[in-house]
Amino acid sequence: MFSFSTPSPALLALAFSRLVLALSSEESVASPTKSFYVLFANQIDDPQFPIVCQDGQECIDLADYSNGIIITQPQNITKAHIDKVKREVPGSTLLGYFDFQNIPIERFSCLCCLAIKA
């Protein structure tokens, strides 16, 4: 059995002062991270990459997401695709995201069980 005691006022004051110091530090102030959702293999293959367009319109320059997060649909993505994104969008982190919504998975299939345990 565990027992907990109330921390002493001195310990609380020390913890609070460390928290204030940490929060006031320039290094601890988080800056927002830009993120892009969602990049497909055919967009990386496009000759105008890192300019990415949705249906020929709404074009953006992925180079603006340097040091950001690029969420990628991993279907048909190869190492060459990843290398190209890393080269054209320096400092970016690629995150593979796959939507299982439209994949028929039997309720009690092994794959379904693995997904639930994960």
Tell me the mean pLDDT in the region 76-101: 88
Q: Say whether 2 sits in a helix, a strand or coil.
A: coil
- Residue in 115, 76, 68, 116 with CA at minimum distance from that of residue 94: 68
* H or E segment and range at residue 37: strand 35-39
DSSP code of residue 30? P
Tell me the mean pLDDT in the region 32-46: 89
Distance separating alpha carbons of residues 63 and 60, to the nearest angstrom: 9
pLDDT of residue 117: 42
In the chain, the N- to C-terminal Cα span, in Å, equals 31
Residue with tokens 């994960």: 118
For 80-92, write each residue's pLDDT tens digit. Answer: 999 999 999 999 9
Q: Say whether 39 sits in a helix, a strand or coil.
A: strand
Q: pTM of the entire structure?
A: 0.59
Which tokens in the block code for residue 94? 């690629």
Tell me the mean pLDDT in the region 60-64: 94
